[in-house]
């Protein structure tokens, strides 16, 4: 990666790593990764290769923050004294390169970290960075983790870099080995999945184009219109995405639409629609016939949905800017509710997620989800279907929301997902659940609820 000389010729530093450092600082202040990277790289002349390196450093350093902090403290003279945010992040960035990148030489990881400290801090702190990182290279045996048998939660949280509450939840929900596999999976580099637009083409036409350009892929195991790509970025973006032949969406996000099973000519509503992955998927399943109301409180995000629909040739979507709690309409044949959730099913794709949500945040979301499912149920006509879905694997956001709703609403009952999706994805209660250890799926939950005929 290139370096650049600071004003006055005081020191050289790598502008790519500097962009990564700026983005990491912004994420620590509460910004989402995509926005942080966008701001940090704006105005910098980065090549596509540079940009990919920034993303690798930002996502990796953010994901592995707890593990990096755990290791750094073994090489500090006074580990109990907190470091400044910028010094902490320079060390994290440097240790990430030492521990988790295969193409960055150790000497470069050290020298470039020192250069960043000299540029953005001072010579004294640059010497500290140099000493700490060189000590890590000389004495790796100083690192110790909790015993996995005596304190499995601390071991897993420190080693794989997760908040303690999430690891403790997983250990209660799954066995140790399954929890470890899940945490390992979330730390893998994220992959991209395309969903084929049946209004414009068939999956085999898309795969033929990928084959022609030697782009590796696998076809969705459960939904054949989804194609998982083995390369980074958005391959054949001009040919596939901009023409509306495909859109980017995970296979697990297609399962709620399968449970919704909207038919041509139906009156359907998506109550939290933007940016439109599930909405456009439902419209395609309806073969562009009927009416699909897309409700969202964000005008900007709804506008993105409309643009995506136009690109895909969809004509049946009616956007409504409104908080779904206040939405008046219906009754509808099909109601889709995908409420705000913790997102713990997609932790592999969103590096900042694991540090941005607390247990209290999840409890607050549960209150919102409860209010939203109650409101959504009033829009379903007798004999109609309500699908509740999240991209979380936390039971209190999923099973518990639906079970408590059913206790309050005797007009609704569970209709098993087994008739619409693979039985291996369906539990004894009829809920559809997926986990990242199932291959190319994210973690997700969806339930199909039918309103009884009156």
Residues marked active site are found at 391
What is the C-alpha to C-alpha distance for residues 211 and 206, in angstroms, rounded to an integer? 9
Q: Under a CB-based contact definition with an 8 Å cutoff, are residues 221 and 439 in contact? A: yes
Q: Which residue in 252, 255, 170 sits closest to 438, CA to CA?
A: 252
Helix/strand/coil (H, E, C) string of the chain? CCCEECHHHCCEECHHHHHHHHHHHHHHCCCCHHHHHHHHHCCCCCCHHHHHHHHHHHHHHHHCHHHHHHHHHHHCCCCCCCCCHHHHHHHHHHHHHHHHCCCCCHHHHHHHHHHHHHHHCCHHHHHHHHHHHHHHHHCHHHCCCCCCCCCHHHHHHHHHCCCHHHHHHHHHHCCHHHHHHHHHHHCCCCCCEEEECCCCCCHHHHHHHHHHCCCCEEECCCCCCEEEECCCCCCCHHHHHCCCCEEECCHHHHHHHHHHCCCCCCEEEECCCCCCHHHHHHHHHCCCCCEEEEEECCHHHHHHHHHHHHHCCCCCEEEEECCHHHCCCCCEEEEEECCCCCCHHHCCCCCCHHHHCCHHHHHHHHHHHHHHHHHHHCCEEEEEEEEEEECCCCHHHCHHHHHHHHHHCCCEEECCHHHCCCHHHECCCCCEEECHHHCCCCCEEEEEEEECCC
Give the 3-state secondary structure of 399-437.
Answer: HHHHHHHHHHCCCEEECCHHHCCCHHHECCCCCEEECHH
**Joined tokens for residue 240:** 């596939």
- What is the distance, to the nearest Å, from the Cα of residue 164 to the centroid of all Cα atoms in its chain? 19
Task: Count the Cβ atoms, other than its own, within 10 Å of residue 78.
Answer: 8
């Amino acid at each position: 990666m290139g370096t650049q000389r600071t004003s006055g010729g005081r020191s050289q530093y790598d502008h790519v790593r500097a962009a990564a450092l700026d983005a990491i600082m912004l994420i620590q202040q509460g910004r989402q990764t995509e926005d942080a990277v966008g701001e940090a790289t704006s105005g910098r002349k980065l090549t596509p290769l540079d940009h990919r390196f920034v993303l690798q450093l930002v996502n990796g350093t953010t994901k592995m923050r707890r593990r990096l902090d755990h290791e750094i403290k073994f090489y500090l003279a006074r580990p109990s004294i907190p470091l400044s945010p910028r010094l902490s992040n320079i060390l994290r960035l440097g240790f990430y390169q030492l521990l988790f990148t295969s193409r960055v030489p150790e000497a470069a990881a050290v020298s470039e970290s020192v250069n960043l400290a000299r540029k953005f801090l001072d010579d004294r702190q640059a010497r500290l960075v140099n000493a700490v990182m060189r000590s890590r290279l000389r004495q790796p045996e100083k690192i110790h983790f909790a015993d996995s048998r005596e304190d499995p939660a601390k071991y897993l949280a420190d080693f794989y870099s997760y908040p303690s509450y999430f690891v403790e939840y997983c250990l209660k929900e799954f066995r140790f080995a399954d929890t470890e596999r899940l945490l390992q999976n979330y730390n893998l580099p994220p992959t991209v999945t395309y969903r084929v637009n049946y209004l414009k083409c068939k999956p085999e036409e898309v795969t033929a184009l990928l084959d022609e350009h030697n782009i590796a892929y696998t076809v969705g195991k459960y939904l054949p219109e989804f194609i998982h790509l083995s390369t980074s970025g958005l391959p054949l973006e001009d040919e596939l995405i901009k023409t509306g032949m495909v859109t980017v969406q995970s296979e697990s996000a297609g399962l709620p639409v399968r449970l919704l099973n909207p038919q041509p000519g139906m009156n359907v509503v998506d109550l939290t629609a933007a940016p439109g992955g599930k909405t456009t998927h439902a419209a395609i399943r309806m073969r562009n016939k009927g009416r699909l109301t897309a409700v969202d409180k964000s005008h900007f995000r709804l506008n993105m949905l409309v643009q995506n629909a136009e690109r895909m040739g969809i004509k049946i979507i009616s956007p409504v800017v409104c908080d779904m709690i206040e939405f008046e309409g219906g009754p509808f044949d099909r109601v889709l509710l995908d409420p705000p959730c913790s997102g713990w099913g997609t932790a592999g794709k969103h590096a900042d997620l694991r540090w941005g949500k607390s247990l209290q945040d999840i409890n607050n979301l549960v209150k919102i989800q409860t209010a939203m499912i109650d409101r959504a149920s009033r829009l379903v006509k007798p004999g109609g279907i309500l699908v509740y879905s999240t991209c979380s694997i936390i039971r209190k956001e999923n099973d518990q929301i639906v079970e408590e709703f059913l206790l309050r609403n005797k007009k609704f009952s569970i209709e098993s997902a087994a008739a619409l999706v693979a039985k291996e994805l369906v539990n004894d209660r009829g809920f559809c659940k997926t986990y990242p250890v199932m291959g190319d799926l994210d973690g997700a939950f969806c339930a199909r609820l039918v309103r009884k005929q009156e």
